[in-house]
Amino acid sequence: MHPYRSHTCGDLRLSDEGQTIRLSGWVHRVRDHGGVLFIDLRDHYGVTQCVVDPDSAAFGLAETVRSEWCIRIDGNVKKRTDETINPDLPTGEIEIFIREMEILGPAKELPLPVFGELEYPEEVRLKYRFLDLRREKLHNNMMLRSEVIRDLRDRMWSIGFNEFQTPIITASSPEGARDFLVPSRLHPGKFYALPQAPQQFKQLLMVSGFDKYFQIAPCFRDEDPRADRSPTDFYQLDMEMSFVTQQDVFDTIEPVMAGCFERFGKGRPVNRNWPQISYKDSALWYGTDKPDLRNPIKMQIVSEHFAGSGFAIFAKLLEQPGTEIRAIPAPKGGSRKFCDRMNKFAQGEGLPGMGYIFWRKAEDGSMEAAGPLAKNIGPERTEAIRVQLGLEVGDAAFFLGGKPKQFEPVAAKARVIIGEELGHSDKDRFEFVWIVDFPIYERDEETGEIDFEHNPFSMPQGGMEALEGDPLDVRGWQYDLSCNGHELVSGAIRNHKPEIMYKAFEIAGYPADEVDRRFGGMVNAFQYGAPPHGGCAAGIDRMVMLLADEANIREVMLFPMNQKAEDLMMGAPSDVTAAQLRDLHLRLNLPED
């Protein structure tokens, strides 16, 4: 017999009754039933109930074991009595009568329980992640992640893509976040960088003639953490294709994503007709470029109803250039209690408040508008607003004003709260949407200078001709895919023509020599017959987070950092020795406490 096991803890069935077997695993829990000990033994594959009584030679040793001890047992497979069958376990019809036992690895007193899935402080869970990963829910999340990655890889191979690995140590090339820098020992004073994405390398692969590339790529960015973003590293399904249009990329990645979500989405519907919404419309309707379309509420511009009105705050605001008033319809939200709660929410977000109107039935049976705004602007304007928004008795509308980019983040949050609290958001499905036509440039409000608003490597719609006009009107062949309020995919048709690239960077204030210095490898390659190409990258961590019904991305990562970008288990970041610093020709200049 094998020294550790003849079967796993998920193998045995009633058909194995009478066999002599050997199992190894962890003690999930111990129960003492009047001198008879029941030990639930767990491994990666499942749980098997084992029993030992004073007649067994292993009884004395069995009395010493505790939860999470690693043990080996030898015993006989027995049929459980009908009343003790556990239908929730695949092994629930049998149990093992223990004849022999060996302690493979005793465990100290546990800093957190494995059995029972009890809530525990995240700092403790991250410090003892190896124990946390034994817990059923987290263990299943990691297995889901493994299966999702295999599924994505299989789907990409099946449609003709080839898998390549791009470098991990490369040159610093800012792409929207801070680089992690790596000092060079052999080249004093110079630094490598960990790649924020394989962006330039995958484009170079297209220049090299490989046509269809993908990889499960590790990416490194020194970012502030969020619930759906790691502060250090993440993995993405990275892909690139030659001789393609934007729609070609969509047609390629849509069945890959939809098929994966249908397979692992636990039966939740996946929309197959993915709408394409412009960045401008998405910001207007939803206040964000990653809208959750399970919520049907759309915001609308209602500035005309407040211009010159008796509500002086909005009326004067509209006299300033670039301002507007936007309404968030709230069907079934027509109570003063709910309106006051939303107003308080806005104050908690740093605004003076959020204006509102709600419609109710008057004493004479007619409809009337109520709330401070209604009194200030009068019945004609409130009726025009109601008609525009399509609202009725029992409904409400909330209003925010100013420059859209300043109030849109709050408006987006308010829309989500309204949709959820009033029961308009359907939580039990996956709703995908493409956001397209991203602006390439924006104007800095303080300096007035033009800079890139989004990916500088995107091909401008209209090519060189588009760059001759107003930069703020230039749209890129750039796109994001959102699902349930999370950005899952980002990509673009790339700017593969050096003359257009130089012009695009010149508009943002980057001279040609700066472009050569930062992106010389790619620009040089484009001088030698670069094909039109484009692609995208899908965030695997966020995909698994949605499929696992988790709100925090750390619940689907094996060994994540905490909110301060610290690895509590391994002690990173850590101090280094003076000798290491000397080898790298570095000297520390630490801030004063």
- What is the Cα–Cα distance from 112 to 135, expressed in whole angstroms? 10
Q: How many residues does the chain have?
A: 593
pLDDT for residue 307 is more than 70: yes
Cα–Cα distances (Å) from 228 to 33, 104, 231, 554, 563, in that order, read 46, 39, 10, 8, 12
Local structure of residue 183 (DSSP, 8 states): E
The answer to whether 215 and 238 are in contact (CB under 8 A) is: yes
Helices 512-525 and 199-207 pack at an angle, to 10 degrees, of 50
DSSP percent split of the chain into helix, strand, coil, nearest 5? 30, 25, 40
Maximum distance among all alpha carbons in the chain?
93
pLDDT range class, residue 353, cuts 50, 70, 90: confident
The DSSP code sequence of 525-547 is HTTTTPPPEEEEEEEHHHHHHHH
SS3 string, 427-460, reads CCCECEEEEECCECEEECCCCCCEEECCCCCECE
Provide Rg for the chain, Cα atoms: 30
Share of the chain above pLDDT 70, in %: 99
- What is the Cα–Cα distance from 367 to 345, expressed in whole angstroms? 27
475-492 burial, b if ≥16 CB within 10 A, otherwise e? bbbbbbbbbbbbbbbbbb
Q: How many CB atoms lie within 10 A of CB 561?
A: 20
pLDDT in tens, 225-247: 777 888 899 999 999 999 999 99
**How high is the pLDDT of residue 176?**
63
- What is the Cα–Cα distance from 400 to 300, expressed in whole angstroms? 11
Q: Residue 276 is which amino acid?
A: Q
- What is the Cα–Cα distance from 97 to 75, expressed in whole angstroms? 5
How high does pLDDT run on average in the chain? Answer: 94
Strand intervals (E) in 243-319: 276-278, 300-301
- Chain-centroid distance, C-alpha 127: 23
Q: How many helices (H) and strands (E) does the chain have?
A: 16, 22
The DSSP code sequence of 93-155 is TEEEEEEEEEEEE-----SS-STT-----HHHHHHTHHHHTTSHHHHHHHHHHHHHHHHHHHH
77: enclosing H helix or E strand:
strand 70-79
**How high is the pLDDT of residue 365?**
82
pLDDT in tens, 373-385: 999 999 999 999 9
Phi-psi region of 549 (alpha: psi -120 to 50; beta: other; left: phi over 0): left
Which of 201, 196, 193 has the alpha carbon at shortest distance from 219? 196
- Please state the rounded mean pLDDT for residues 461-476: 94
- What is the Cα–Cα distance from 572 to 129, expressed in whole angstroms? 14
Q: How many CB atoms lie within 10 A of CB 130?
A: 9
- What is the Cα–Cα distance from 419 to 330, expressed in whole angstroms? 8
The answer to whether 350 and 394 are in contact (CB under 8 A) is: no
- Please state the rounded mean pLDDT for residues 389-416: 95
- What is the Cα–Cα distance from 31 to 282, expressed in whole angstroms? 57
Which of 152, 140, 147 has the alpha carbon at shortest distance from 236? 152
The answer to whether 200 and 519 are in contact (CB under 8 A) is: yes
Cis link prior to 573 (omega < 30° from 0)?
A: yes
- Please state the rounded mean pLDDT for residues 553-559: 96
- What is the Cα–Cα distance from 164 to 593, expressed in whole angstroms? 46
**How high is the pLDDT of residue 174?**
57
**How high is the pLDDT of residue 175?**
59
pLDDT in tens, 119-153: 899 999 999 999 999 999 999 999 999 999 999 99
- Domains of the chain in start order, with CATH, are 14-105 (2.40.50.140), 295-425 (3.30.1360.30)
482: enclosing H helix or E strand:
strand 478-483
Q: Residue 97 is which amino acid?
A: F
Which of 255, 246, 296 has the alpha carbon at shortest distance from 273? 255
Q: Which residues contact 535 (CB under 8 A, 6 or more apart)?
A: 202, 213, 238, 239, 240, 241, 249, 491, 492, 494
Q: Which residue has the higher pLDDT, 424 or 35?
A: 424
Which of 392, 394, 395, 373 has the alpha carbon at shortest distance from 382? 373
- Please state the rounded mean pLDDT for residues 18-26: 98
- Please state the rounded mean pLDDT for residues 269-274: 95
pLDDT in tens, 490-526: 999 999 999 999 999 999 999 999 999 888 888 999 9
Q: Which residues contact 149 (CB under 8 A, 6 or more apart)?
A: 216, 235, 540
Q: Which residues contact 581 (CB under 8 A, 6 or more apart)?
A: 587, 588
Alpha carbon dihedral 96, 97, 100, 104, in 10-degree steps, equals 40
- What is the Cα–Cα distance from 529 to 496, expressed in whole angstroms? 9
